[in-house]
Structure 1
Amino acid sequence: MTWSFEVTPVDHPDAAQLLREYLDEIASRFYGRQITDEELDAALEEHHSRHLTPPTGAFLLAWREGVLAGCAGLRVVAPDITELTRVFLRREERGKGGAALLVAAAEDVARDLGATTIRLDTRDDLVEARALYARLGYETVEPFNDDPFAHHYFAKSLAGSRLAG
């Protein structure tokens, strides 16, 4: 399977669509029900992604075999620290090796943004994400924000090799 990744403006239609799908899934999962379109619109505005643009961040789109498959965001929080956020693969693209490749591509972009450390937070119910990050070498760290939706905090040194290709 061929995966590709490209930094894309968050207001690009493909980016906007994936951000909508991402927030729909994580909010619906959190509330244990499908959220309404009105709730989703409000959440998209409240949890906007406008900061995921250079020089304060970046937004990546992922494709598998030329089909839009997922996304990941990066936010610079200090000259040497970048935060990974909004990591998402469409359901039909999961289980095909793309998540690890997407995170590796995001790590490369974080390096390009000047980061030597990448960090993230995630929720209790996102067990698959927590397992992925642990498998990819992210270590549990002390909380670094007071986000009520964050329950687990991870970080990883970006010293070392870059994603090939």
Structure 2
Amino acid sequence: MTSWTLAREAFDSPAATGLRRDYYADVASSYWQRPATDGEIDEGLAGDGVELLTPPTGTFVVGRYGGEAASCGGVLLLDDGRAELTRVFVRPAFRGRKGAGMLMELLEDEARTLGARRMVLNTRLDLTAARALYVRHGYAEIPAYCTGPYMQIWYGKELRAAAA
């Protein structure tokens, strides 16, 4: 039986880099309604702040399905009690296999480990599958906590203490 394994991984490992490129290609292509070029992907990833997704300011997670890099996500500590969920992505070939839920749970655990009591995120209105995932996991719409050209809706969730 094929299964998921999820673990912290350096954002610049070969698997994480490939997933980050696929994530950017997916969201940019959806926004532009055409395939993103390699140059556009390179430009989008340049200076995107991913280096902050390392302790003590954050973490990056890679999920593998049957050993193949299939999903990723990050947590960025914003302040003493709040973390931001970012770069949540499951490659299309691996969607519908329960990996997104496992990824969300692990990312929330990682946020707790960093000291967060609340998780927030921002996304676009057209990313309906992502928005549905967040709502299924208890996220509710909140007022904007940041601004940017691709931020159209914001979500938040209080994180319960980890089970002992």
| Secondary structure, counterpart of 1:50 in structure 2 | helix
Match of residue 52 from structure 1: 53
Structure 2 contact 124–150 (Cα < 8 Å) conserved: yes
Match of residue 113 from structure 2: 112
Q: Number of residues paired by the alignment?
A: 163
| Secondary structure, counterpart of 2:52 in structure 1 | coil
Specify the code of the residue in structure 1 equivalent to 2:20: L
Match of residue 35 from structure 2: 34
Q: Which ranges of structure 2 fall in alignment gaps of 5 or more residues?
A: none
Structure 2 contact 112–161 (Cα < 8 Å) conserved: no
Match of residue 103 from structure 1: 104
| Secondary structure, counterpart of 1:9 in structure 2 | coil
Q: How far apart, CA to CA, are the structure 2 residues paired with 1:48 and 1:17?
A: 17
Deviation of 1:40 (Å):
1.2
TM-score w.r.t. the length of structure 1 is 0.94
Deviation of 1:161 (Å):
4.5
Q: How far apart, CA to CA, are the structure 2 residues paired with 1:159 and 1:61?
A: 23
Q: Which ranges of structure 1 fall in alignment gaps of 5 or more residues?
A: none
Q: How far apart, CA to CA, are the structure 2 residues paired with 1:16 and 1:79?
A: 29
Match of residue 86 from structure 1: 87
Deviates further, 100-109 or 65-74: 65-74
| Secondary structure, counterpart of 2:78 in structure 1 | strand
TM-score w.r.t. the length of structure 2 is 0.94
Check if 1:137 corresponds to 2:138: yes
Specify the code of the residue in structure 1 equivalent to 2:27: I
Q: How far apart, CA to CA, are the structure 1 residues paired with 2:109 and 2:120?
A: 13
Structure 1's consecutive aligned runs of 4 or more residues displaced over 4 angstroms after TM superposition are none
Q: How far apart, CA to CA, are the structure 2 residues paired with 1:36 and 1:26?
A: 12
Match of residue 148 from structure 1: 149
Equivalent residue runs for 1:1-16 within 5 Å: 1-16=2-17
Superposed CA RMSD in Å reads 1.4
Q: Cα deviation per residue 1:33-54 (whole Å; 9 max; x = unaligned)?
A: 0111111111110424111111
Q: How far apart, CA to CA, are the structure 2 residues paired with 1:117 and 1:92?
A: 31
Q: Cα deviation per residue 1:70-129 (whole Å; 9 max; x = unaligned)?
A: 100111100111100000001110011111110111000110000000110110110001
Indicate the percent of aligned positions where both proteins have the same amino acid: 38
Q: How far apart, CA to CA, are the structure 2 residues paired with 1:101 and 1:15?
A: 17
Q: How far apart, CA to CA, are the structure 1 residues paired with 2:160 and 2:41?
A: 38
Deviation of 1:160 (Å):
4.2
| Secondary structure, counterpart of 1:78 in structure 2 | coil
| Secondary structure, counterpart of 1:120 in structure 2 | strand
